[in-house]
Amino acid sequence: MGKSPSKTSPTPTDVLPLIPLAPPLAVLPGTTLKVPITNRADVAAILAKIYSISPTAKPDAAITVACVPLRSALVGREGGLLIEDGDAKGEQPGGFETDPVNATKKDVFGYACVAKVSGVQGRRQGELSLVVEGLERVEVLDVVQERPYFEGELRGVDEHVDVANPELAEQFNLLKQLSRELLALVRLSSILPRTPTVSLSPIVARRLELYIARKDLSEAGSLADFMANVVDCTHEEKLRVLAAIDVKDRVDRVIEILQRQISSIQGSTRITVTSTTIPVAHGSFDIDQLRRIQQEALKRRSGMTNSGSNGMPAGFPGFPGAPGQGGEEEANELEELKKRLQDAKLSPDADKVAQRELQRLQKMNPVQAEYQVCRNYLENLAEIPWTKTTVDQLDAKTLVKAKKQLDDDHYGLDKIKKRLLEYLAVLKLKEQANKNIDDQIKALAKSIAPIEEKGEKEKDKEEKVMKEPSEAELKLLEKKRMVDKSPILLLVGPPGTGKTSLAKSIATALGRKFHRISLGGVRDEAEIRGHRRTYVAAMPGLIVNGLKKVGVANPVFLLDEIDKLGVSNYNGDPSAAMLEVLDPEQNHTFTDHYVNIPIDLSRVLFIATANSLDTIPPPLLDRMETIQLSGYTTLEKRHIAARHLLPKQITTNGLHPDNIDMPTDVLDKIITSYTRESGVRNLEREIGSVCRSKAVEYATAKDTETLPQYNPVVTLSDLDGILGIEKFTEELTEQHSRPGVVTGLVAYSTGGQGSILFIEIADMPGTGRVQLTGKLGDVLKESVEVALSWVKAHAFELGLSAAEDEDIMKNRSIHVHCPSGAIPKDGPSAGLAHTVALISLFSGKPVPTTLAMTGEVSLRGRVLPVGGIKEKLIGALRAGVERVLLPEGNRKDVRDLPEEVKKGVGIEFVSHIWEGLGKVWPERWERAGGWVGESRL
Ligand SMILES: Nc1ncnc2c1ncn2[C@@H]1O[C@H](COP(=O)(O)OP(=O)(O)OP(=O)(O)O)[C@@H](O)[C@H]1O
């Protein structure tokens, strides 16, 4: 047995029972340990002895023993590492007994820990353990008894701490630092997936943190003992800590253990601070604090490495962003977010919110669900273009360029193009005016600046004279700045008439970014305005998403199919949400529910499209300027096909213009026999089919080297093979006229298409009943009744009855039918046609099939104007109508008709039924200007 270290002051010796502990167990002062006592006869004997000596001792009275670890071949009795130690000389490692039952005097270590037995734990025989609480470190001077239990002569050691020692103070601080670092790492690694480590409950971790923080230098030894006990260390390390009587020595040894432990955890846990890799678990911890500890430790450690006092590697595998290991490249996520927010040049309101949210985020635990929500929100804020804009190409050539662009992209549509150019002109003038004001403001600012540079006194004097009026002037000028409250355009027309492509052309002409928002089928208000942030997976709405996508605050937004926007339902009212977007007075403070900060939409150029106005709520319609696009005539379609659609399809299908030649008659045939639509979408599709077929032919010819035989010309006879049999016959008007059948005109509200409509009336013996079929609406039914009343009232004058008091319906019933029975029809515009059809039926005189008519009829027989003239006449021309009777009141509408229609259809105006009858049957129009009925002829 070696001598105790000389530093140890001689303190009273004592003899106490010894409990040898099997490796790797060792009790250190201030720690609690469970010593397994199954088959430990010595422990039983100790307890029996104590109780036999003092049978009156209360069971809870403190029993003091000394816990002594068994020796290791690698550590000397004094705790030094053995290289050539006399005690171990000639002994192999492992030469000491490891089972306390068989241990002898020579197997016990030179130092022990006096401990209080605080109880026995375990329910079953095999799992009993003695709970001991380490009290103080003692030196084992001698073992005085081995059986039935060990008894040793012990001497207390002096654990005095020299608080004046600066070296010790420094080492103690390092110990504390490392202890906290380790704790933080254990907590972090316990929440990371796939890291084999003990999990640490947040409460325990917090207590440990407090325990470490409260220790002061005088307790350096006990903190070292505590940390040595809690960390994972080898038996030898524990023995060396136990034997370290000198506190500085002990602190050094524990520091070494901690450093090794930290490196090993870091090695197995390379931390990526992306919230996706950290699952939600285990309460909270402060990632920033952890990061700070890491960085401090790193600084300190790299210093130590430089001085050579520590063998730790300089690299510090750990957090991205930690200096010294390339972490700067992987820029810290929060820093990056901060930078992105700075770059986004937020509005003052948004900036305030962003700063507040950033502060919240920094304090937040990344494993909290709220962290992700907050981060997403900030990312969204950073992506919204608050102030970024593109510069409009509004120079001297703008209008010329825009006109060219519109003409290049679209044939016809002159009225619409004119309106769009007006819009651009106004925009340009406003910008120019604003630029002039800006220049004046700049000039004023310059005139103020030199005053500020002058001496104080002089400055004061001059300021009174000059600065005040200048500032007022500035304000005045600011007021004069033109706010861009341009109207929102609504393009209405049948499908495929070029609404979308017109909007695109405007964006191109202006040099602005273009984004299309499809509103068709949007049933939920939240789709437009976003969800409130409190909802799970909340998102901004379509408008903010659009802004994020284009990345500038002044794009062209196409609000497509605004007429298909859902109406008010339990999910809110989407059209009401659009009101705020589209109102130039309100949209500079549009608030998305998710973003919850006013966003300026006044610089966005909104263009809406719709197929019909019927389903657009009036308040919404009121905020837009409507521009009507009607269907194209055959002639227009021919031009569009030749100039735009065919070249487009040729390139789409990989052909060269020389590879295909489609003559005008072929195009006409496709237009009239294979399509019947107001727009040109189907036409483009059919042309595409022909191009594809030609492409196959050309490719085959090329492959088989028969190119000379390839004929690029498409002939009329080819069409049958490529597009199938004709879908529509050209001649739609009836071949033979019959009494009671009249050609009317109809403009369908859905799709804005016009066509002819036959009115068929048949009579039969009966009692004056009127039957109506063909899905006729109420107004249409009423117009039949009006027509019948007028005819009945004027039957004698019309020559339909022999006497003035005779009822022409007395012995007959009539049936009015409008074919295409599945299509709903309504409106008063067939009144004239009904009247003429009734007179034709009763008089037996047929009406020419190529004559069509439209107009409302009043009871007095006046013919009143109706709507949809352009669509109706285009439809009439397509159907082969030659003459059309229109109400006098519609004369103004004819001016806007395409030339082709004006030339192709003979238009005659009537203001009264009598006049109309004269046009239908001119031979019966008395020269004197009156009608001659059959009976009176
Ligand atoms: N006047 C025109 N000149 C040239 N091409 C045209 C013209 N009108 C339409 N087109 C072409 O027709 C196609 C369909 O047009 P677009 O998609 O703009 O129709 P739309 O009116 O928006 O239809 P929808 O109401 O169904 O959205 C496009 O390829 C477009 O270029």
Q: Tell me the per-residue pLDDT of 415-429, one tens digit each, with 9 for 90 and over.
A: 888 888 888 888 778
Q: Distance between CA atoms of 252 and 846, rounded to whole angstroms? A: 121
Q: Identify the CA nearest to 494 among candidates 619, 664, 636.
A: 636
Encode pLDDT of 582-600 as tens digits. Answer: 887 778 888 889 988 988 8
Q: Which of 829, 840, 843, 870 is catalytic?
A: 829
Report which of 323, 320, 340 is spatially closest to residue 332, judged by C-alpha positions. 320
SS3 142: strand
Question: How much is the pLDDT for 297?
Answer: 45
Ligand 1 pocket: which of 517, 644, 648 to mutate (most atoms within 8 A of CB) = 644
Q: Whose CA is nearest to atom 11 of ligand 1?
A: 498
Which of 516, 616, 681, 750 is the pocket-test mutation for ligand 1 (most atoms within 8 Å of CB)? 681
Cβ neighbours of residue 97 closer than 8 Å, sequence gap 6 or more: 70, 103, 104, 107
Instruction: Report the pLDDT averaged over residues 611-633.
Output: 85
C-alpha 413 – ligand 1 centre gap (Å): 11
Q: 682 CA to middle of ligand 1, Å?
A: 11
Q: Is 829 a catalytic residue?
A: yes
Kindly state the average pLDDT of the residues 751-772: 83
Tell which wins on pLDDT, 458 or 582: 582
Q: Can you say whether residue 273 is alpha, beta or left, with left for phi > 0 and alpha for psi between -120 and 50 degrees?
A: beta
pLDDT of the residue at 534: 79
List Cα–Cα distances, 832 to 272, 339, 742, 862, 887, in angstroms: 81, 73, 10, 9, 9
Give the position, in ligand 1's atom list, of the atom nearest the Cα of 629. 21
Please report the DSSP string for 331-383 in residue order: --HHHHHHHHHHHTT--HHHHHHHHHHHHHHHHS-TTSHHHHHHHHHHHHHHH
Q: Is the peptide bond before 24 cis (omega within 30 degrees of 0)?
A: yes
Peptide bond preceding 148 in cis form (omega within 30 of 0): yes
For 144, phi and psi rounded to 5 degrees? -95, -15
Report DSSP letters for 885-916, one per residue. EEEGGGHHHHTTS-HHHHHHSEEEEESBHHHH
267 by Cβ neighbours in 10 Å (0-12 / 13-18 / 19+) ranks as: exposed
- Going by C-beta distance under 8 Å and a sequence separation of 6 or more, which residues neighbour residue 126? 38
Among the atoms of ligand 1, which is closest to the Cα of residue 497? 21
Known active-site residue 637 = no
Residue nearest to atom 18 of ligand 1 (CA): 498
Confidence of residue 689 (pLDDT cuts 50, 70, 90): very high
**Which residue's alpha carbon is at the smallest distance from atom 30 of ligand 1?**
498
Residues in contact with 91: Cβ distance below 8 Å, sequence separation at least 6, in sequence order? 73
Check if the beta carbon of residue 107 is closer than 8 Å to that of residue 97.
yes
**Quick check: 470 pLDDT over 70?**
no
In angstroms, what is the C-alpha Rg of the chain?
49
The Å distance, Cα 744 to ligand 1 centre, comes to 29
- Percent over 70 (pLDDT), the chain: 77
- Residue 61 neighbours by CB distance under 10 Å: 11
The CA 681 to ligand 1 mean position distance, Å, reads 7
The Cα 402–Cα 407 span in angstroms is 8
Look at residue 303 in the predicted model and tell me its pLDDT. Answer: 43
Q: Report pTM.
A: 0.55
Cβ distance 437 to 480 under 8 Å? yes
Choice between 706 and 203, residue whose per-residue pLDDT is larger:
706
What is the arithmetic mean of pLDDT over 790-796? 90
Q: Which of 787, 783, 791 is nearest to 746 (CA)?
A: 783
> Ligand 1 centroid to 499 CA: how many Å?
6
Maximal C-alpha separation, the chain: 157
Whether the pLDDT of residue 933 is over 70: the answer is no
Ligand 1 atom closest to 503 (CA): 18
> For 844, which DSSP code?
T
The whole-number average pLDDT for the span 504-529 is 86
Q: Which protein residue's CA is at the shortest distance from atom 4 of ligand 1? A: 410
Distance CA 798, CA 793 (A): 10
Residue 699 alpha carbon to ligand 1 centre in Å:
30
Index of the ligand 1 atom closest to the CA of residue 409: 4
Do residues 846 and 737 touch, judged by C-beta distance below 8 A? yes
> What's the average model confidence in pLDDT over 21-38?
83
**Separation of CA 664 and ligand 1 centre (Å):** 21
Ligand 1 atom with the shortest distance to the CA of 611: 25
**Which of the four pLDDT bands, split at 50, 70 and 90, describes residue 458?**
low
Most confident of 769-783, 795-809, 853-867: 853-867
Token digits of residue 206: 């917090």
| CA–CA distance, 115 with 63 (Å, rounded to integer) | 8
Nearest-CA residue for atom 19 of ligand 1: 496
Q: How many angstroms separate the alpha carbon of residue 684 from the centre of ligand 1?
A: 10
Neighbours of 848 (CB within 10 A): 15
Work out the mean pLDDT of the chain and round it to a whole number. 77
Q: Is the dihedral of CA 421, 427, 433, 435 positive or negative?
A: negative
Q: Which atom of ligand 1 is nearest to the CA of 680?
A: 12
Identify which has the larger pLDDT, 186 or 925: 186
Q: Average the pLDDT over 46-68 and give the result.
A: 69
Average pLDDT over residues 748-763: 74
Whole-angstrom Cα distance, residue 275 to residue 364? 12
Q: Whose CA is nearest to atom 6 of ligand 1?
A: 498
- β-partners of residue 772 are 816
| Spatial CB neighbours of 237, under 8 Å, sequence gap ≥ 6 | 228, 253, 257
**Residue 613 CB burial class (10 angstroms; 0-12, 13-18, ≥19):** middle
**Hey, what's the torsion of the CAs at 97, 101, 105, 110, to 10 degrees?**
70
pLDDT at position 419 is 84
Taking only the tens place, the pLDDT of each residue in 276-317 is: 333 333 333 444 555 554 454 445 444 443 333 333 333 333
The residue type of 17 is P
- Of 852, 863, 870, the closest CA to residue 828 belongs to 863
Q: Which residue, 925, 917, 757, is CA-closest to 842? A: 917
Residue range 352-370, pLDDT digits in tens: 889 998 888 887 777 677 7
Q: How much is the ipTM here? A: 0.96
Instruction: Point out which residues pair with 36 in neighbouring strands.
Output: 129
**Better pLDDT: 92 or 395:** 395
Identify which of 933, 883, 887, 884 has the alpha carbon closest to the alpha carbon of residue 912. Answer: 887
* E strand map for 8-87: 13-21, 32-36, 63-69
Range list of β-strands (E), 566-675: 590-591, 598-599, 605-610, 624-628
Directed axis angle between helix 247-268 and helix 166-191, to 10°? Answer: 30
Chain-centroid distance, C-alpha 109: 68
Pairing of strands 150-156, 556-560: unpaired
Characterize the bridge pairing of strands 111-121 and 129-145. antiparallel
Does residue 881 contact residue 730 with C-beta atoms inside 8 Å?
A: no
* pLDDT of 2 higher than 70: no
* Ligand 1 centroid to residue 677 C-alpha, Å: 12
pLDDT of residue 89: 42
Structure tokens at 797: 């004058």
Given a contact cutoff of 8 angstroms between Cβ atoms, the answer to whether 255 and 177 are in contact is: no
Closest CA to 719 of 777, 665, 659: 665
Residue (of 8, 278, 262, 243) closest to 110 by Cα position: 243
Among residues 215, 499, 637, 872, the one annotated as catalytic is 872
Q: Is the pLDDT of residue 477 over 70?
A: no
pLDDT digits (tens, 9 = 90+) for 705-727: 888 888 889 988 888 888 888 87
Percentage of the residues of the chain whose pLDDT score is greater than 90: 13
What is the reported pLDDT for 200? 60
CA-based torsion, 519, 524, 527, 528: positive or negative:
positive
Atom 25 (ligand 1) nearest CA: 495
From CA 13, how far away is CA 138, in angstroms rounded?
9
User: What is the CB neighbour count within 10 angstroms for residue 164?
Assistant: 8
If one residue of 407, 501, 518 were mutated to test the ligand 1 pocket, choosing by the most ligand atoms within 8 A of its CB, it would be 501
Q: Candidates 680, 683, 686, 687: which one to mutate for ligand 1, based on the most atoms within 8 Å of Cβ? A: 680
At residue 326 the predicted structure's pLDDT band, cuts being 50, 70 and 90, is very low
| Short-list 865, 899, 905, CA closest to 883 | 905
Q: Report the distance separating Cα 757 and Cα 817, nearest Å.
A: 11
Cα–Cα–Cα angle for 217, 131, 10, rounded to 5 degrees: 50
Ligand 1 binding site (Cβ under 6 Å of any ligand atom): 410-413, 495-501, 609, 611, 640, 644, 680-681, 684
